[in-house]
Chain A
Amino acid sequence: MDRIFNAEFALGHMNYWLFVILMMTGLYIVVARGNLLKKIVGLNLFQVAVFMLYISMGKVSGGTAPILIDNPNQLYSNPLPHVLILTAIVVGIATTSLGLALIVRINETYGTIEEDEVLEIDHQMHADEVAKVEKLKPAKLDAS
């Protein structure tokens, strides 16, 4: 930590840099894009980045795939993060497919998948609802 920029450290953690870039790209798409479909793609990217983080942390330098063949002393990578990420992949697929299914339904009922237009329809529906009940103008009981 004596140098301000440690090239060896920076390059040695290449996976983690890529993880950060991929994650932030995904998160940015979720926040910045108005198209619901693109948002889901961004969300998926965001989740995939986490897979990369876990796989990277399981790597043991010089280790092979954690499959026991004949030499029990062989150096192998930590299999636990791999297993964890299998679960997370399943969760990611479920989330993406559910999100896509919702988009299909939104497209059917709203006729659009642009967030601005969906929001506008939502607001319009709310305004209509309020206008409808405001017309009722209930009388006070004690006034009658």
Chain B
Amino acid sequence: MLSFVSAHSPLLAIVIPLISAPLCMLFGNRTVAFTISTLAVAASFALSIYLLWWVKDGTVLSYHIGGWAPPLGIEYRVDTANAFVLLIVSAMGLLTLPYARTSITDEIDENHHTLFYACYMLCFTGLMGVTITGDAFNVFVFLEISSLSTYVLVALGAKKDKRALSAAYDYLVLGTIGATFFVIGLGFIYMATGTLNMVDLSQRLPAISDSRTVRAGFALIVIGMGLKVAVYPLHRWLPGAYTYSPSAVSVFLASTATKVALYVIIRFMFSVYSARFGFEAVTFQYVILPLALVAMFGASFVAVYQINLKRMLAYSSVSQIGYMLLGLSLLNVEGVSGAFVHMFNHAMTKGALFMAVGAIVFRTGSAMLPNMAGLGKQMPWTSAAIVIGGLSLIGVPSSAGFVSKWVLMSAAFERDWWLIAFLIVGSSLIAVVYVWRVIEVLYLQQPNKDVVVKEAPLSLLVPTWILIITTLWFGLHADFAIGFATTAAENLIQGGFGGKEVIILGVESR
């Protein structure tokens, strides 16, 4: 049994949550659906830890689905980079579920709860699948599984606020355009190489890297995925989707969806295409780097003027994505590992912040900032979580946000780009402004009415505080994240799919 699980662990991490989605629907009872989905995500989480532990030294696992050898068969390929992202997704998935159970009670109609769990599991499966697969077209398939269920999840917020529907519609249109661009890009590189397996692609592309088809494919893939990542000018769908979706969905989306799409960009830019291709270095320097800087400042400025706390956090997400892209465009090991560390830290921080805001919405029914006046006394634990999360967003020492900004800055110093390092600090100063606005409202203002607001229920507080404590823990014990991120970055910068040794799994099943 154990050896079976071990031999099929990459597949099981995807198949268990996939099967649980129809099971949720079949039983049609929300308690059963909750139990099934929690068990499935927990299994997926355990397998992700197991996989990460297996590949932590740079080993690569190649799982042949159905025993068909790649490049003909579909391959699941686990290396340090995507095992790390798998861990982020599954950990956030596991923490969001118990939170969701309480938070959806007043946000979604009771007879839609099983549907919520089913969509949530499909979304989770899609994100895990995108991360683990080693087949370029399979990325598209899983991406659409996750995107389609995400549109539904966002639209479920319509019970509270009908703007969720128009937000979901915008997201659907832009997300589909992005995914379709991605497929056209894949079509181009398939035309040029005749293969869709990523390893195979990475071996065939260098010889024809001057071909215009290959370059057009690159552009389409980056723009298509850029829409999903919400790279600065392509972020229009994000604020609406994060603001009006149910709290639990905001938490899960903010901490995983954009990170996974960013991982796909990293995978295609560094492994399938190589950073050594001349046109790619130019793209990084003249397109991605300026956009990242504009995102860091522009989106932060917009965040300062938001009156809705959820929307403020959404704009802050756009600016944080700028940091990750900045790390990538430095094109050195430190920069790429900085991007990975920031992905991990930002997932925890933003997850915790959205959870805390969700708890306030649960008690007061509104995410408008002036409504929260004086809540620091009435909801002390929730408010404290927002403060610590905010400090991590700024990057105050001993919080996780500090670690990633430190790595990013040292990467900029290594390239001798002093200006960039100063800009990282400058953008953090704007974060101080918008975080301070929240703290001021929570602690330094009189409560609005005599209405007594109770502290959030434990089922909302516990997941929030688990994330806050991990944020602090990884702020003080940075080795964990930096260790994995550096191993991943070293492999990525080398280009291709090199690793220490490749272990092939799943062959004996045939």
Binding site for B on A (CB under 8 A): 23, 27, 30, 36, 39-40, 43, 46-47, 50, 53-54, 57, 81, 84, 87-88, 91, 94-95, 98-99, 102-103, 105-106, 109-110, 118-119, 122, 125, 129-130, 133-134, 136, 138-142, 144
- Select which of B137, B140, B165, B184 is within 8 A of A102 by beta carbon: B165
Whether B444 contacts A142 by the Cβ 8 Å rule is yes
Query: Which 7 pairs across A and B sit closest by C-beta, in order of nearness?
Result: A138-B373, A133-B370, A138-B445, A109-B162, A91-B144, A139-B446, A133-B368
Whether A95 contacts B176 by the Cβ 8 Å rule is yes
Chain B residues with Cβ under 8 A from A130's Cβ? Answer: 307, 368
* Residues in B240-297 with C-beta less than 8 Å from chain A: none
Whether B374 is near chain A, meaning CB under 8 Å from some CB there, is: yes
A24 to B368, CA, bound (A): 41
Listed by A's residue number, 10 A-B pairs whose Cβ atoms lie within 8 Å are A23-B184, A30-B177, A43-B173, A54-B187, A91-B179, A94-B148, A125-B162, A134-B370, A138-B370, A140-B446
Chain A residues with Cβ under 8 A from B151's Cβ? Answer: 98, 102
By secondary structure, the B interface counts as helix
Tell me, rounded to whole Å, the shortest Cβ–Cβ distance linking A23 to chain B: 8
| Contacts A122-B163, A129-B368 given; does A141 touch B158 at CB 8 Å | no
Whether B59 is near chain A, meaning CB under 8 Å from some CB there, is: no
A139 to B374, CA, bound (A): 10
Binding site for A on B (CB under 8 A): 137, 140-141, 144, 148, 151-152, 155, 158, 161-163, 165-166, 168-169, 172-173, 176-177, 179-180, 183-184, 187, 190-191, 196, 307-308, 366, 368-371, 373-374, 441, 443-446, 448
Instruction: Write the chain B residue with the least CB distance to A23.
Output: B184
- Select which of A50, A118, A122, A139 is within 8 A of B184 by beta carbon: A50
Instruction: Write the chain B residue with the least CB distance to A51.
Output: B183
Chain A residues with Cβ under 8 A from B168's Cβ? Answer: 102
Tell me, rounded to whole Å, the shortest Cβ–Cβ distance linking A40 to chain B: 8
A72 to B151, CA, bound (A): 46
Instruction: Write the chain B residue with the least CB distance to A99.
Output: B172
Whether B370 contacts A84 by the Cβ 8 Å rule is no
Count of A-B contacts with CB under 8 A?
112
Instruction: Write the chain B residue with the least CB distance to A88.
Output: B183
Whether B183 contacts A50 by the Cβ 8 Å rule is yes
Whether B163 contacts A125 by the Cβ 8 Å rule is yes
Chain A residues with Cβ under 8 A from B374's Cβ? Answer: 138, 141
A138 to B440, CA, bound (A): 11
Whether B158 contacts A109 by the Cβ 8 Å rule is yes
Instruction: Write the chain B residue with the least CB distance to A27.
Output: B177
Whether A94 contacts B144 by the Cβ 8 Å rule is yes
Instruction: Write the chain A residue with the least CB distance to B137.
Output: A84
| Contacts A27-B177, A133-B368 given; does A98 touch B373 at CB 8 Å | no
Whether A50 contacts B180 by the Cβ 8 Å rule is yes
Other than the known A30-B173, A43-B177, what 12 A-B pairs have Cβ atoms closer than 8 Å?
A43-B176, A46-B180, A57-B190, A87-B141, A91-B148, A94-B148, A95-B144, A99-B173, A130-B307, A134-B370, A139-B445, A140-B445
A43 to B177, CA, bound (A): 8
- Select which of A98, A122, A125 is within 8 A of B172 by beta carbon: A98
Whether B169 contacts A57 by the Cβ 8 Å rule is no
A134 to B366, CA, bound (A): 14
Instruction: Write the chain B residue with the least CB distance to A84.
Output: B137
- Select which of B148, B366, B370 is within 8 A of A98 by beta carbon: B148
A54 to B186, CA, bound (A): 10
| Contacts A47-B180, A105-B155, A140-B445 given; does A118 touch B172 at CB 8 Å | no
Tell me, rounded to whole Å, the shortest Cβ–Cβ distance linking A103 to chain B: 7
Whether B191 contacts A57 by the Cβ 8 Å rule is yes
A140 to B448, CA, bound (A): 11
A88 to B179, CA, bound (A): 10
Tell me, rounded to whole Å, the shortest Cβ–Cβ distance linking A51 to chain B: 10
Whether B446 contacts A144 by the Cβ 8 Å rule is yes
Chain B residues with Cβ under 8 A from A53's Cβ? Answer: 184, 187
Tell me, rounded to whole Å, the shortest Cβ–Cβ distance linking A50 to chain B: 6
Whether A138 contacts B448 by the Cβ 8 Å rule is yes
A78 to B144, CA, bound (A): 25
Whether B148 contacts A105 by the Cβ 8 Å rule is no
A54 to B185, CA, bound (A): 11
A50 to B183, CA, bound (A): 8
Tell me, rounded to whole Å, the shortest Cβ–Cβ distance linking B181 to chain A: 9
Chain B residues with Cβ under 8 A from A118's Cβ? Answer: 166
Whether A47 contacts B165 by the Cβ 8 Å rule is no
- Select which of A36, A87, A138 is within 8 A of B169 by beta carbon: A36
Chain A residues with Cβ under 8 A from B172's Cβ? Answer: 95, 98-99, 102
A128 to B382, CA, bound (A): 27
Chain A residues with Cβ under 8 A from B444's Cβ? Answer: 140-142
Tell me, rounded to whole Å, the shortest Cβ–Cβ distance linking B56 to chain A: 34
Whether A110 contacts B162 by the Cβ 8 Å rule is yes
Tell me, rounded to whole Å, the shortest Cβ–Cβ distance linking A140 to chain B: 6
Most buried by A among B152, B366, B373: B373
Whether B155 contacts A102 by the Cβ 8 Å rule is yes
Chain A residues with Cβ under 8 A from B368's Cβ? Answer: 129-130, 133
- Select which of B137, B148, B165, B196 is within 8 A of A95 by beta carbon: B148
Chain A residues with Cβ under 8 A from B187's Cβ? Answer: 50, 53-54, 57, 81
Tell me, rounded to whole Å, the shortest Cβ–Cβ distance linking A123 to chain B: 10
A76 to B223, CA, bound (A): 34
- Select which of A50, A125, A141 is within 8 A of B445 by beta carbon: A141
